[in-house]
Structure 1
Amino acid sequence: MTQTDPISAEDQDRHAAKMARKKAARDRMMETKTGEKGLIIVHTGPGKGKSSSGFGMIMRSIAHGMPCAVVQFIKGAWDTGERTLLTTHFTDICQFHAMGEGFTWETQDKSRDIAMAQAGWARARDLIRDPAIRMVLLDEINIALRYGYLDAAEVVAFLQAEKPAMTHVVLTGRGAPDALIEAADLVTEMTQVKHPFRSGIKAQAGVEY
């Protein structure tokens, strides 16, 4: 049978029965999922989409009328589409703080990179402590942790001790440290299967930034 062939009554009944069983099983599972809490969410791995996913969550928060904030580490000097959109249209509900000046191979100044990362983390702590802010995106903070610009143990300890109960914190960037992954409620590792950069295609507006 192909997709264009008519579905027989027998096939339809079999499909309906199968879906009914799936729905009953899912309904039973959902009955046990009643809790809510502010989550520590990590997007890491070598694949594309870590920051994009984080900004998608920020847009969801805005759509739900939830105050939110972004602290952008490392690539804060970039003129990205997300930054333009948020700072042009949503400043009443979303704070945006670009604290980095570029990747470390661009700045070539380790002391300044560390100082900027520390300043970003100080700003992030203030935002996370504010119970009125429901989600905070720490974009590319994992890079700062990987290079040792920030102390991973300190970041984890702060999140566990001082994050308000209903505040979501999203941390993006490849190379998330084990301590952060262990402390997180939700961890997604992006894998790279194929990327146009390997074929000589540069980063493009609307895709990478």
Structure 2
Amino acid sequence: MAQDWREEVKTEKPYRKPTGQRRGLVIVNTGDGKGKTTAALGLVLRAVGRGYTARIFQFMKHAGAAFGEHRALERLGVEIEGLGDGFSWTSKDLERSAALAYAGWRRAREAVLGGEYFLVVLDEITYPIRYGWVPLEEVLETLRQRPKKVTVVLTGRGAPEPLIELADTVSEVRKLKHAFDAGVPAQRGIEH
């Protein structure tokens, strides 16, 4: 007679219940794979669905962008602000790009420190940090000084090691395969 499947079910949990207090987190989504921003937007949906406030700053998207996520978030009442002038590798004026990034950082910093939002997303902030347009130490100090209830999600490739060390949660999205490498261009509803 075959053993009953219920005898094989383990009753022990594979983890211990955390004993710490709930608080705002620093979450970093980095790596060369697709999905870092998408994961951050998923957290925005979860927070807004629970009645919390969220705000998104996109460091590489230009002001007035109307990508799919902008349209959907506008319907949900979530503020999303493009701070840049597009992708830096197509910029014809890198000094202007740097000035826009830093001015945007100052607005984002105010939102993080102001405590009005439960969740603040700093999308693609690793690029202006790596280019030297936004000082890493200012970002780290802002994260340390933020109100305890505020969660900040930072996205982008090549997150610097000091940011990874400061973060509570870090996910690396690794590319195994991407349609773009096979010649498929970015598509509405998928990449933008």
- Structure having the higher helix fraction is 1
Q: Which residue of 2 aligns with 1:56?
A: 42
Question: How far apart are the structure 1 equivalents of 2:2 and 2:111?
Answer: 58
Is residue 2:69 matched to residue 1:69? no
Range moving further from structure 2, 133-142 or 73-82: 73-82
CA-CA distance at 1:14 after TM superposition: 3.0
Q: Which residue of 1 aligns with 2:186?
A: 203
1:12-51 equivalence runs, <5 A: 12-16=5-9, 19-21=10-12, 23=13, 25-26=14-15, 29-30=16-17, 32-51=18-37
Is residue 2:70 matched to residue 1:86? no
Q: Which residue of 1 aligns with 2:80?
A: 96
Contact 2:112/2:142, CA 8 A, preserved across alignment: no
Is residue 2:89 matched to residue 1:105? yes
CA-CA distance at 1:76 after TM superposition: 3.1
CA-CA distance at 1:9 after TM superposition: 5.2
Q: Deviation digits for residues 159-195 of structure 1, max 9, x if unmatched?
A: 112x110100000010111111111111111100000
Distance 1:58 1:13, change over 3 A: closer
Identity score, percent: 38
Q: Deviation digits for residues 134-173 of structure 1, max 9, x if unmatched?
A: 0000111111111111111111012112x11010000001
Give SS of 1:125's match: helix
Give SS of 1:205's match: coil
CA-CA distance at 1:125 after TM superposition: 1.2
Letter of the 2:140 partner, please give it: V
**Bigger Cα Rg:** 1
Give SS of 2:147's match: coil
| Number of residue pairs the alignment of both structures matches | 191
Q: Which residue of 2 aligns with 1:154?
A: 138
Normalised by the size of structure 1, how large is the TM-score? 0.86
Question: How far apart are the structure 1 equivalents of 2:71 and 2:89?
Answer: 25
Structure 2: stretches of 5+ with no match in the other structure: none
Q: Which residue of 2 aligns with 1:186?
A: 169
Q: Which residue of 2 aligns with 1:173?
A: 156
Letter of the 2:186 partner, please give it: A
Q: Which residue of 1 aligns with 2:102?
A: 118
Q: Pick the aligned partner of 2:3 from 6, 10, 16.
A: 10
Question: How far apart are the structure 2 equivalents of 1:132 and 1:151?
Answer: 24
Q: Deviation digits for residues 15-48 of structure 1, max 9, x if unmatched?
A: 23xx213x3x54xx11x33421111111111011
CA-CA distance at 1:198 after TM superposition: 0.9
4+ residue runs over 4 A deviation: none
CA-CA distance at 1:108 after TM superposition: 2.2
Normalised by the size of structure 2, how large is the TM-score? 0.93
